[in-house]
Structure 1
């Protein structure tokens, strides 16, 4: 139960490498994936966790190994958060930056497509802002995947 079959250093390295690889993949998948989970996104996250579990443990089924992997993942998350809070450059790499997707009642369809937003996402943002397209001064896709709309006065 507590006897580890894999070196603690190997578990540590596996946890760090898988954390960084998943961070990169999630970051590359775009703003919408991070900001707004659909049922399909949730399914991917669940399958992702199952898919990398063997890679994390390296076949070690000990409680000690599980604790070590969990501690490393939590520490990596804390370290990434700390680095992002201390450096604007790191924060921009990790979080991304807002993107203008519309101005003066016109959508920028090429930008919307590039960020994989659907028409339903854009229409929902209009409803949430209680305005029509003609009322839009600017529309911004925030770094967390939400759409902010500033109305004309």
Structure 2
């Protein structure tokens, strides 16, 4: 199955070009958040858009119109979910997790690590990746809703207002 036909290749080039151009337009219209990966839902949409584009390119069973409708639907649903979560806090709480405080003032919060299925080794790796060799120099480590670990060194803590809304002991 090295080669089927020139028509199949031409279809991929033509449909792929049109689908790619449409995806660029959909992403520009839907805004930066669509690919922002601020939380799990943003990540799912990003993966879904890529999967949809691949299906449009490779499956002759899916028409260009069906594929473009799917891309627009995914972006529209993402816009709707983002709008609902921005305007209604209860919706945001239902759709996204709260950031979790994993370390405060150099002390590891083992209950939060277990609750979020992380290891002490992963926490220490995040601290090291910021060029910090001593946990005592770290004021806080936060597991963000995106799954990223934010490390806040003692020297950058300020008044701690960035920790407002973070779950865990002694959080703001």
- Cα deviation, 1:29-76, whole Å, max 9, x if unaligned, reads xxxxx6xxxxxxxxxx59x948xx7xxx9x962222222222211211
Displacement of 1:80 in angstroms is: 1.0
Which stretches in structure 2 are left out of the alignment for 5+ residues?
1-39, 156-172
Partner of 1:73: 74
Higher relative contact order (CA 8 A, sep 6+): 1
Whole-angstrom distance in 2 between the partners of 1:99 and 1:93: 16
Which contiguous aligned blocks of 4+ residues in structure 1 show a shift greater than 6 angstroms? none
Partner of 1:95: 96
Whole-angstrom distance in 2 between the partners of 1:73 and 1:138: 36
Partner of 1:111: 112
Note if 1:132 corresponds to 2:134.
Answer: yes
Whole-angstrom distance in 2 between the partners of 1:152 and 1:63: 54
Whole-angstrom distance in 2 between the partners of 1:143 and 1:61: 34
Q: Cα gap change, 1:129/1:147 in structure 2, threshold over 3 Å: closer, same or farther?
A: farther
Pick the structure with greater CA Rg.
2
Whole-angstrom distance in 1 between the partners of 2:68 and 2:139: 51
TM-score after normalising by structure 1: 0.53
Whole-angstrom distance in 2 between the partners of 1:60 and 1:75: 24
Which secondary structure does the structure 1 equivalent of 2:146 belong to? coil
How many residue pairs get aligned? The number is 106
* C-alpha contact (below 8 Å) 1:142/1:148 kept by paired residues: yes
Which stretches in structure 1 are left out of the alignment for 5+ residues?
1-25, 28-33, 35-44
The one of 138, 146, 149 equivalent to 1:147 is 149
Whole-angstrom distance in 1 between the partners of 2:91 and 2:143: 20
